[in-house]
């Protein structure tokens, strides 16, 4: 199954079937800022307090996956009922440990 992004912003785009243009999935990412109690509103966005959540919806609008971000690093991935914590280690390094049981369940889910 091949899908393509409908926009260049891959964190806020649809995945469509190239042959038909039909909707496969929708990706939506929103930012949230965590207020540090020691900072006032003018300095709230300084530092690495930004968190984001990416939601992936199927064509029926049901959430099938979520990615939690801290800055640009993924910190949690949820696919179906399976949660992968410590996701930061999966990207940009070679020491990530991922259970093949989780991967098998995820691939069988879809």
More confident residue, 25 or 87: 25
Number of Cβ within 10 Å of residue 39's Cβ equals 13
Q: Average per-residue pLDDT in the chain?
A: 77
Range 43-48 average pLDDT: 45
Read off the tokens for 41.
Answer: 């509103």
- Between 17-26, 53-62, 73-82, 94-103, the lowest mean confidence (pLDDT) is in 94-103
Q: Using the structure block, give the residue that is written with the tokens 């496969």.
A: 24
Residue 77 has pLDDT above 80, yes or no: yes
Comparing C-alpha atoms, which of 101, 70, 106 is closest to residue 88? Answer: 70
Question: Could you give the CA distance from residue 41 to residue 50 in angstroms, rounded to a whole number?
Answer: 14
Q: Order across the sheet with 73-79: list the strands.
A: 4-5, 13-16, 23-33, 50-58, 63-70, 73-79, 82-85
This prediction has a pTM of 0.67
pLDDT score recorded for residue 73: 84
* Confidence tier at 91 by pLDDT (50, 70, 90): low
């Amino acid at each position: 199954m091949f899908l393509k992004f409908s926009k260049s912003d891959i964190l806020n785009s649809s995945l469509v079937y190239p042959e038909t243009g039909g909707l496969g999935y929708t990706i939506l990412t929103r930012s949230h800022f965590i207020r540090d109690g020691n900072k006032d509103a003018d300095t709230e966005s300084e530092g690495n307090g930004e968190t984001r959540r990416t939601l992936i919806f199927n064509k029926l609008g049901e959430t099938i996956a979520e990615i939690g971000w801290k800055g640009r690093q993924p910190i949690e991935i949820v696919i179906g009922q399976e949660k992968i914590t410590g996701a930061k280690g999966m990207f940009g390094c070679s020491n990530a440990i991922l259970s093949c049981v989780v991967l098998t369940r995820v691939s069988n889910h879809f």
